[in-house]
Amino acid sequence: MKHFFNIRRVLFSLLFLSLILTAYTLYYKVRYWGFDLKPNKTTDVWIIDAHISFKALGGPVNVYLSTPKTDSEFKILNEDVIAKGYVFEKDENTGRVKLSSSFRKGKQNLYYRLTVYDNEASLGKTKSKEKAKINLPVYDEQQMQTAEEILAAAEKLEGNTVEQIISIFNQSPLNESVETLLPVKANLQTRAEYIADLLALKNIPTRFVRGVKLIEGKKASKADLMLEAYDGQNWHLFDLRTAAEGLPENFIIFQRGDVSLFDVEGGINSQIRFSVLKSVTSSFKMAEHRADVSATAGYYAFSIYNLPLAEQNILKWLMVFPLGILVVVLMRNVVGVPTMGTFTPMLVAMSFVQTGFGAGLICFSIIIAVGIALRGLLSRLNLLLVPRISSVVIFVILIIEAMAVIGHNFDIEVSSSAVYFPIIITAWIIERLSISWEEEGPKNALKEMFWTMVTAIATYAVIASEAIRHFMFAFNEINLVILFVVMLLGTYTGYRLTELKRFYPLIKQRK
Amino acid sequence: MFWPFDTAKKLKSIGILGMNARNYKFIARLNKRRLYPLVDDKVQTKALAIKNGINTTQQIGIIEYQHDVKNIKEIVKNFKEFVIKPAHGSGGKGVLVIKQWDDNRFVTASQKVLSYAQVYQHISNILSGLYSLGGQYDVALIEEMVHFSNIFEQFSYQGVPDVRIIVYKGYPVMAMTRLATAESGGRANLHQGAVGVGLDVKTGKTLTAVQHNVPVQIHPDTKADLKTLCVPFWREHLLIAAKAFEMTGLGYLGADIVLDETKGPMMLELNARPGLAIQIANSAGLVKAIKRAEKFYPKNLSADERVDFILKEN
């Protein structure tokens, strides 16, 4: 008895450990490799084209462009420059790109293409230890008075000081004082500068942020402008139109603060325009790159996801087997139904997954029925066992062949699905069914067949869902859990469900 | 209404042994796998029984290879009647009882007439493993027919009953006999409608009798009062069962014993995985009986001493 509990204790500990392992790898794979619990999860991949155009003056040309840092909220999949004859350099720390060429004249078109994915939620806060300095505006007396009126009016609005001041510049109709302060045709940039000025008066340091809002199909647009305000520890990002704090979704920052977004030396009439293209790809395909950028490439290389696709597909199929096995174990040892062959129901269920349930069930029934009929003829010939079962195997092959041909020519899908059934297993079912029929009567044979099919259907119900198959593949450590559950079931000494029914009369007799 | 947990609790309280518990707690523990062939192969069992002085059915011959099948008539030429069975068979599968024969006419126990070709075919089937566990190649065993004691005649429809005794660590703990009925088609399977009779291990007398899980008093076909059934030579029955423990080394086994008119009780076959139906016939649980044996029965006794202990036990 002591021995018995020791085995169980060991198995329970192993089960517990494998559960922890599974939970950990699940977290790990979701966090770093971008795996999802659900199948067919896709990832948006954004392609951003920065198009710099200018007129070269005939001398050497240097073009500088601020680009997103590699530690930005987006993961950078690819970076590409189309600039014929230009030398490409990049400062990895600042993300500043330099394109240089000697002696250029005339219209120049340079393209910088960035492919990014995985926009992670962010509060739009950036830590900064450097003390930010304040550039007080140079205002005359009248401007100063207007500015104070605006500040006083802004205080009545909701939000913190930054939000109040941005809001007052976006009111409709515009506050009179604001209208007085702003030049006649004020664009967003001008407005932003006045907002920064007023914040400086309030002793709040600010800086501008330029980036691209990722909207599908965006063409030749200017960079989007945002404002960052410093609170003594962090830079906070604000939308200049809505005054909302934080980094908007799908916004990628190219440049911050004093550095320019782009500079052209040796050219005039320079401008930069951004275009955005969205493409969708399977999350699974991005896993390797995710692993690379998260410095877990080593683990990834030794995972099954790094194998050739054909092998992965086979493994994906294999990963479902333990689950089917678990169902079989439960049906046999806990429910206690008789089945023909231990894993026959599971293999039949596997075929159902490929054929579809209804079609598979009808098709399988037809194969068995025809097989039984042919086997009936065979039993009159009194053949020896091995040649006889071999003949049944050939019968099954012929039946499958015939059904496939009929299915193809008359366009009957049910018939065509015959090819998915395991030949040897089917042949053994026919053989056993007919022997059991002859020796123990049709009742017994049909009972065994019935429970075999019930077990197959139960297994099918579990493994049919694509979601479960995906889960078993993506988080295949779960198979260890199943292993120990199955081993623990090997120590289960309780009654089987069918035994309760079998021995139930003994309780009644006692009364 | 049938409540699983409630039912399980009650079955446990009366000590009913389930299949999982039997396999895990008793068979896996007490029966070493290397000993299985001793009982799975009837040729070996028979040889062992003779060596150990246990009365068993006499072997006429064995047919091992397909090309020897044609010798069957030669092998049985001195015997008026004989039995062909697979050496690795179980549950009476593939057993052919020939009561009378001449050149091309073989009359079976159930009065069916077979041709020589059919008998030949039957032996071939045995050799190819049709009736053996796992379908491996088998050997056909030809034995002398048992002349069953007519003491059971009034209690059974056709077929002749054998006595099954469960032996735990050498002690007989439960016994039964199965009586064929018209409904069971002369077979001794309880689920097919045979009557199961639980026998008192101490006396060999009927304790309980059930058919289809319902207690019965009389045999449905012969109308014999089942209470009057008492197996003669009971001590000899117990002794064969007890000796099977030393003979095989199996701590948990089922011994099937038949009663021959002239030769007395004979070991028919042994089983390393005896079924659980005996509990239904006895309306009692094996766990209870085994626990009792584990607790009160002395160890290191000889087979004779163990049987005496059982017979004297209160």
Decide: B85 and B141 in contact? Cβ < 8 Å: yes
Q: For residues A195 and B299, what is the distance between their CA atoms, to the nearest angstrom?
A: 100
- Least Cα distance to B211 among B262, B282, B281 occurs for B281
Are B198 and B267 found together in one domain?
yes
Closest A-chain CA to B123:
A384
For residues B301 and B166, state if they share a domain. Answer: yes
With contacts defined as CB-CB under 8 Å, which chain A residues touch B124? 384
What is chain B's pLDDT, residue by residue, as a tens digit (314 residues)? 567 888 888 888 889 999 999 999 999 989 999 998 888 889 999 999 999 999 998 899 999 998 999 899 889 888 999 999 999 887 677 888 898 898 889 998 878 899 998 899 899 888 888 787 666 788 999 999 888 887 888 888 877 788 999 999 999 999 999 888 888 777 777 777 889 999 999 999 999 998 887 888 888 888 888 889 999 999 999 999 999 999 999 999 999 998 888 889 999 889 999 989 899 999 899 999 999 999 999 988 999 999 999 998 76
Order of strands across the sheet with B171-179?
B214-215, B206-211, B195-199, B171-179, B163-168, B252-260, B264-271
B212 and B300: one domain?
Answer: yes
| Best of A495, A498, A501, A508 to mutate (most B CBs within 10 Å, chain B) | A495
Q: Is A1 on the interface with B (CB under 8 A)?
A: no
* Residues B289, B237 share a domain: yes
| B229 and B87 assigned to the same domain | no
Asked if the Cβ–Cβ distance from A504 to B4 is below 8 Å, we say no
Contact residues, chain B, for A4 at CB < 8 Å:
25
Read out DSSP for A388-448?
HHHHHHHHHHHHHHHHHHHHHHTT-HHHHGGGGS-HHHHHHHHHHHHHHHHHHHHHHHHHH
CB distance B8–A500 less than 8 Å? Answer: yes
Choose the final residue of a domain: B110, B144, B178.
B144
The answer to the question of residue B287 being in a domain is yes
Q: What is the pLDDT of residues A244-282, one digit of tens each?
A: 888 777 788 888 877 788 888 888 888 899 888 887 777
What is the residue-averaged pLDDT of chain A? 84
Q: Cβ separation of A503 and B128 shorter than 8 Å?
A: no
Euclidean distance between CA atoms A367 and A372, whole angstroms: 9
Q: A194 phi and psi, to 5 degrees?
A: -65, -40
- B193 contacts B183 by C-beta, under 8 angstroms: yes
Range of the domain at B74: 58-144
| Closest CA relative to residue B268, chosen from B171, B181, B159, B191 | B159
Q: Which two tokens stand for residue B142?
A: 């030809």
Chain A hits for B280, CB-CB cut-off 8 Å, are 502-503, 505-506
In a domain, residue B244? The reply is yes
Residue A239 CB contacts under 8 Å (≥ 6 apart), including other chains: A166, A226, A245, A248
B182 and B302 belong to one structural domain: yes
Which of B116, B117, B120, B128 minimizes the C-alpha distance to B69?
A: B120
Which residues does chain A have within 8 Å of residue B120's beta carbon, measured at their own beta carbons?
Answer: none
Domain count, chain B: 2
Residues B67 and B154 in one domain: no
Instruction: Kindly state whether residues B92 and B213 are assigned to the same domain.
Output: no
B132 chain-A contacts, CB cut-off 8 A: none
Q: How far apart are CA B66 and CA B63, in angstroms?
A: 8
Whether residue A491 lies within 8 A of chain B, CB to CB, comes out as: yes
- How far apart are the C-alpha atoms of A481 and B288, rounded to whole Å? 36
- Measured CA to CA, the distance from residue A178 to residue A159 in angstroms comes to 19
Residue of B nearest to A381 (CA): B121
> Judged by CB atoms within 8 Å, which residues 377-406 of A form the interface with B?
382, 384-386
Of B43, B182, B149, B159, the closest CA to residue B108 belongs to B159
- Are residues B154 and B137 part of one domain? no
Residue B178 tokens, joined: 């199965």
Question: What is the torsion angle, in degrees rounded to the nearest 10, for the CA atoms of residue B4, residue B9, residue B14 and residue B16?
Answer: 50
Burial (CB < 10 A; 0-12, 13-18, 19+), residue B163, is buried
- State whether residue A309 sits within 8 Å of chain B by CB: no
Amino acid identity, residue B93?
A: K
**A386: Cβ contacts below 8 Å, ≥ 6 apart:** B128
What is the pLDDT, as a whole number, of residue A125? 66
DSSP A77-91: EEEEEE-TTPEEEEE
CA–CA distance, A116 with B222 (Å, rounded to integer): 90
Q: What is the largest CA-CA distance in chain B?
A: 62
Tell me the chain B residues in contact with residue A385 when contact means C-beta distances shorter than 8 Å.
125, 128-130, 135
Last residue of a domain, one of B117, B144, B171: B144
Q: What's the pLDDT tens digit per position in A286-316?
A: 777 777 766 676 777 778 887 777 888 888 8
> Does residue B47 lie within any of the structural domains?
no
Same domain, B74 and B222: no
User: Across the strands, what pairs with B211?
Assistant: B195, B214
For the stretch A124-133, pLDDT in tens is 666 666 667 7
Helix or strand run (H / E) with residue A130: none
Mutate to test the interface with A, among B7, B16, B20, B22 (most CBs of A within 10 A): B20
Minimal CA separation from A450 to chain B, in Å: 18
Sheet arrangement for strand A125-127: A125-127, A234-238, A224-230, A206-213, A251-256
Q: Pairing relation of β-strands A206-213 and B59-63?
A: unpaired
All residues of chain B having their beta carbon less than 8 Å from the beta carbon of residue A507 are: 7, 10-11, 14
- Position A149 pLDDT exceeds 70: yes
Nearest residue of B to residue A332, measured between CA atoms: B20
Does some domain include residue B44?
A: no
Instruction: Compute the radius of gyration of chain A from its Cα atoms.
Output: 36
Q: Are residues B178 and B130 in the same domain?
A: no
Report phi then psi at A255, rounded to 5.
-150, 150
Q: Tell me: ipTM over 0.90.
A: no
Shortest Cα distance from B176 to chain A (angstroms)? Answer: 16
Asked if residue B64 is part of any domain, the answer here is yes
- Note whether residue B9 is domain-resident: no
pLDDT confidence of residue B134: 62
Nearest to A496 among B10, B12, B19 (CB): B19
Output phi, psi for B176, to 5 deg: -155, 165
Residue A292 touches partner B, C-beta closer than 8 Å: no
Say whether residue A4 is in contact with chain B using an 8 A CB cutoff.
yes
What integer pLDDT is reported at residue A1 of this predicted model?
Answer: 53
For residue B176, the model assigns a pLDDT of: 94
Cβ-Cβ contacts under 8 Å, A432 against chain B = none
Whether chain B has a CB inside 8 Å of the CB on A217: the answer is no
Residues B134 and B156 reside in one and the same domain: no
Q: Is residue B298 part of a domain?
A: yes
Run of H or E including B28: helix B28-30
Chain A residues within 8 A of B217 when measuring between CB atoms? none
**Domain finish residue from B86, B116, B144:** B144
The CA distance from A315 to A321, in Å, is 10
pLDDT of residue B50: 92
Distance CA B314, CA B309 (A): 10
Q: Which residue of B has its CA nearest to A488?
A: B24
CATH number at residue B81: 3.30.1490
Chain B contact residues (CB < 8 Å to A)? 2, 4, 7-8, 10-12, 14, 16, 18-21, 24-25, 93, 117-118, 121, 124-125, 128-130, 135, 210, 213-215, 276, 279-280, 283, 285
From B19, B125, B128, residue closest to A499, measured CB to CB: B19
Is B89 domain-assigned? yes
Q: Which residue is it, tokens 């194998």?
A: A307
C-beta atoms of B129 and A507 within 8 A: no
Question: Residue B191 maps to which CATH number?
Answer: 3.30.470.20
- Chain B residue closest in CA terms to A440: B192
Residue pair A210/A224 in contact (Cβ under 8 Å)? The answer is yes
3-state SS of A48-69 is: EEEEEEEEEECCCEEEEEECCC
